[in-house]
Structure 1
Amino acid sequence: MLMNCAAYQKGRKLADVAIDNLNAYRDVPDAFIWVALKDPEPGELPHLAQQFGLHELAVEDAQTGHQRPKIEEYGDSLFCVLHTVELDAEGELVVGEVDVFVGSNYVLSVRNRTTQGFTDIRKRCEREPHLLAFGPAFVMYALIDAIVDRYFPILEALGAELDELEERIFERNGSAASREIIEDLYSLKRRLVQMHHLTAPLQEAVSKLYGGRSPGICAGMEDYFRDVYDHLQRIVKTIDARREMIATAIQVNLALISLAESEVTKRLGSFAALFAVPTMIAGIYGMNFHRIPELDWAYGYPACLGVMLSVDVFLWRRFRKAGWL
C-alpha cells in the first residue's frame, strides 16, 4: 500500500507525486523522490524497483523479509534492513521490518508488520530544510534514528519488569512462587536476547556509515550517523548489563530456594528429634523382657514421663535458641 510519495529539492517539498509520474521529477537538479510503502501488494515493489533501478538482490531480500539488520552497498546506492519493536498487551515483543532503498535521487521505505507509522519522521524532515538539503542521506539517517530511539521505551519497560521481579525474589511465597519468578526471569532474558539480535548487528552496520571509508552518498552526514552509533552502543551495553543482572537474579533466587529448603529440613529434623526421645524410651520399656531395671518400681511410669518431658523441653529450648524452630 502506498502511504506517501513526494518530491523534494534543496530541502523544500516540491509536490506530492503520483506513483506513475516519478520520471517527471527524477531529472530535476538537486531533487529526490521519497516513496513510503506499507505491506506492499505483490506488484508494487517490482514496479518501483524497475522505476528506480534497484538491485535485484536487495529487492529479493525485501520481498523475502525476515532479514537480519544490515546496511549493504550496491554501487552508488544503499540498502538498509531495520527492525521496529513494539510491546503487545501481554508484554511480548512484536517485531516488524523496515527496508530502505537509498540512491542519489530517491528514497524508498518499505515497512512490514508494523503499526507505528513514519509520518512524524517526514514532518521532522520537512521542518529541518537545512538538513533535508543533504538529500536522501538525511532521510535515511532520520529513519534509522527514529527506529533506534523507539528502542529506548522498550528497554525502560523491560527494565521496570526486571526491577519488579527482583523485589518479588525476596518475598517468601513458597516454591511455586519461586518457580514462577524463574519462569518470568527466563522470559525476560529471552526478550532481551531478541533485542540484542536486533541492535548489535545494526550497530556494526551503522559504524560503516562514518569515517574514512563511508559511502559517498553519506557525505556530510557522518557526524549524524556517528550519533546513531552512540545510541546503539548505549542500547547494546544496557542490554548486556541487564542480561547479567538477570543471570545474577536467577542465581540469587535459586540460592534462596536452597536456603528455604534447608530451613524446612532443620524444622523437620527438630520435630523428629522431639519425637525420637520419647519413642526411644517407650520402645525400651515396651520390650518383653522380665528383668528390665525399674520395671516393678512404683514410680517408674511417672518417672519415664518426666524424663521424656524434661528431655523434650531441653531440646525444644536448644532448637529454639539455634533458630531451628
Structure 2
Amino acid sequence: MTRIIGADGAPPPPPTTDVARSSVVDCALYVEGVRQEGQWDYAEALAAARSRPNAFVWLGLHEPTEDEMAPIAETYGLHELAVEDAIKAEQRPKLERFNDVVFLVCRTARYLEHARLTEHSEVVETGQVLIFIGPAFVITVRHGNASKLSPVRADLEARQELLAQGPWAVAYAVTDRIVDHYIEVADGIEDDLDALEEDVFARAGTSSIQSIYQLKRELVEFRRAVVPFQRPLLTLTSDASRGTVPKEIRRYFRDVQDHLSRTIEQVTANDDLLNSILQARLAQVSVDQNNDMRKIAAWAAIATVWTAAAGIYGMNFKFMPELEWRYSYPILLTLLVTTSATLYRLFRRNGWL
C-alpha cells in the first residue's frame, strides 16, 4: 500500500477499521486527472490529496450503515444532517451547501424488462445516489442497483482532461449517467404504452384495468425521481453557482439539464397518454356493462310473455277461456313462440341481442 507523508511531516491518520471498509466500493487518488497507483485508505488518500496541487479523492460507498459512515464523516468533515440523509436515502432530489461541502441528492431509475405487462409487473426500479463535493474530495453514496457507478469511473479515467477539472467533473459524470438512464426508462415505458394502447383498442383486447393502474403507479414513481431533479440542475447551471462549479463543468451540466428537460417532456406526454388509455378502457368497460344489461333486459322481456301466459292459465277459475277446447294448448304455444320470435327479432335488429 502506498503511504504518503503529510506536508507538515506528520504521519498519516490511522487506517480505518475492517467494518468501515465493508461499504467502500473503491477509493482512488487522482492527480491532474490521473489515477495514482496503489490501494488507498480513504484517510490516507485525503491527506495525500491535500498535500498535492490539483489532486482529489473519489470515495465510492454502497449502502453504508451509521457505524460505517461515522468515521468517514469525521475524517472528511461532513455535516451530520447530510450524513443522516446519506444513510437513510429517503430524500427528494435536492442541492444543499454545508460550509465548503456541497451535498447533491439524485434519484436513480432503471427499466426492468418484462415479457408482458400485468397487474404485478415491476417496470421501474429506483434508488438513490448522494454526492458530497468538497475542495479535495468527492464521495458518492449509492443505494440500490438502478445506476452502478463503476462504468462512470472507468469512462472518466479515460478522459484525463475532464477528470483534471476536479471533484465537480465526477459530479457531472454521475448525473449524466443517471439522466441517461432516465432516457432509457422513458423509452421503455413509451414502448409499453404503445403495446398497451394497441391491445386496448384491439377488437379482442385483453388488457385489464389493473395492469393499466400498475403502469400508472410505475410511471408516478419514475416521475417523482425525474421532475424534482430539475431544480438542483438549474441551480448548478445558474450564475449563482459561480465560484463553486468550474465554468467548464457548468457547460457540461447545461447539457445534462437539456437532456433532463426533454425527458420530463416525454414523461409528461406518456402520463397524458396513459390517462387517455385508462379513460378509454373505462369507457369500454361501461359500454360492455350497458350491453350486458340490454341483453338481460331483452331476454327478460321475452320470458315475460311466457310468464304472463302461465300466470293467466295457472289460475283455477271454473270458466277459463278456451279451457275445454281441444286446440287451446297448440294455439297458445304457437302464439307464445311467435311472440317470442318477434321480440327476439326486434331486439336483435336494435342491437340488444
1:99 alignment partner, one of 121, 127, 130: 130
Asked if structure 1 preserves the Cα contact closer than 8 Å seen for 2:64 and 2:87, the reply is: no
> Number of residue pairs matched?
321
Residue identity (%): 36
For residues 213-250 of structure 1, the C-alpha deviation after alignment (integer angstroms, 9 at most, x for no partner) is 12422122222112212222222232232223332222
Is the partner of 1:323 in helix, strand or coil? coil
Q: After superposition, where does 1:117-266 map in structure 2 within 5 Å?
A: 117-170=148-201, 181-220=208-247, 221-266=249-294
Partners of 2:84 and 2:329 in 1: how far apart?
Answer: 95
For residues 164-209 of structure 1, the C-alpha deviation after alignment (integer angstroms, 9 at most, x for no partner) is 43344346789xx77xx22222222222211122222211111100
Partners of 1:164 and 1:293 in 2: how far apart?
Answer: 65
The TM-score with structure 1 as length reference comes to: 0.86
Q: After superposition, where does 1:77-116 map in structure 2 within 5 Å?
A: 77-86=101-110, 91=122, 93-114=124-145
Q: After superposition, where does 1:304-319 map in structure 2 within 5 Å?
A: 304-319=332-347
Is the partner of 2:239 in helix, strand or coil? coil
1:21 aligned partner, one-letter code: E
1:58 alignment partner, one of 60, 63, 82: 82
Partners of 2:276 and 2:38 in 1: how far apart?
Answer: 55
Matched, 1:11 2:33: yes
Task: Specify every segment of 5 or more residues in structure 2 that has no aligned partner in the other structure, as ranges.
Answer: 1-22, 115-120
Matched, 1:37 2:53: no
Partners of 1:208 and 1:227 in 2: how far apart?
Answer: 14
Partners of 2:154 and 2:131 in 1: how far apart?
Answer: 18
1:12 aligned partner, one-letter code: V
RMSD: 2.8
The TM-score with structure 2 as length reference comes to: 0.80
Is the partner of 1:150 in helix, strand or coil? helix
Q: 1:16 to 1:321 in 2, by over 3 A?
A: same
Deviation of 1:25 after TM superposition, in Å, equals 2.7
Partners of 1:18 and 1:287 in 2: how far apart?
Answer: 103
Is the partner of 2:241 in helix, strand or coil? coil
Deviation of 1:297 after TM superposition, in Å, equals 4.8
Matched, 1:302 2:326: no
Partners of 1:287 and 1:218 in 2: how far apart?
Answer: 97
Task: Specify every segment of 5 or more residues in structure 1 that has no aligned partner in the other structure, as ranges.
Answer: none
2:188 aligned partner, one-letter code: A
Q: 1:38 to 1:301 in 2, by over 3 A?
A: closer
